[in-house]
Amino acid sequence: MKRYISILLIITYSLFVFNPSYIFAQQNSMKVVKVRDDKFVANMGSIHGITLNSYYTIIQNNKNIGRAKVIALREKICALIITSLNSGEMVKPGDYLILDSESYFDSDGLLNDLNSKGFSKDQLISSKKNYFFEGQKAAESEYNGGGAMIGGLVCGTLLGLIGWGLGYAIMSSSDIDVPPRHLSSLNNQQQFEFISGYKQKAKSKRNGNFHAGAAIGTLIAVVIVLSYSN
């Protein structure tokens, strides 16, 4: 009995600590991929809604360590320059980036000048709204995973790791619909950015839920197999 308990503990540790749900949940986030001096490259570009001269907060180990500005843009990648960095910190590959709308104005000293021309701060930030990230925020708050966790649980329980892989392959090929209410007041470009952001975040949540369910299902399958073999 002790031997089986030890095996179950090892399996549980492997599935829930090293399971790929976290990886799949984060694979579509904007992050640093290469660093050189005070500049670095991130893994998103114009097709993801990134714009030149936009500012981003740099997140490392769930902590804000500084800010950076987009200085070059391609379809799938962008280059940024570090504009501020906390003392003793260093930007590293894998750090995450979060859009910082207000810093676009504050860091460039534009806010006071534009305020003098009759624009309010809220109006200025709204005019710089990034609809890709607006779509991500909407999906984060309202998308529940579409039953992916239950599907993963069933796949893992019935076929173990094989079911896990097959289930994910089938699920990842299906599309996600964006609620029309979000798009009615947007122009074509804004709709494209919003849809891209919404689907990216929704798929990330769906993948994470599926892998969590599949991990539990696979564990159940292993317990059943061990019970019968005993």
pLDDT at 17 over 50: no
Q: What is the mean pLDDT of residues 175-182?
A: 90
Confidence of residue 189 (pLDDT cuts 50, 70, 90): confident
Q: In sequence order, what DSSP letters do the residues of 142-175 get, joined into one string?
A: H---TTHHHHHHHHHHHHHHHHHHHHHHHHHTS-
**CB 138: neighbour CB atoms within 10 A?**
19
42: tokens are 């991130």
Confidence at residue 115, expressed as pLDDT on a 0 to 100 scale: 54
Amino acid making up residue 209? N
Q: What is the pLDDT of residues 26-78, one digit of tens each?
A: 444 789 999 999 999 999 998 888 889 888 889 888 678 999 999 999 999 99
Report yes or no: 97 and 43 within 8 Å, Cβ to Cβ.
no
Q: What is the pLDDT of residues 101-155, one digit of tens each?
A: 554 444 444 445 545 555 454 544 444 566 777 888 888 888 887 689 999 999 9
Report yes or no: 160 and 215 within 8 Å, Cβ to Cβ.
no
Measured between alpha carbons, how far is 94 from 62 in angstroms, rounded to an integer?
12
98: tokens are 């979060």
- Which domains does the chain possess? 2-26+142-229 (no CATH), 32-129 (2.40.10.410)
For the ranges 63-67, 83-87, 226-230, which has the lowest average pLDDT?
226-230
Confidence of residue 81 (pLDDT cuts 50, 70, 90): very high
Q: Pick from 65, 72, 133: which is nearest to 99 by CA?
A: 133
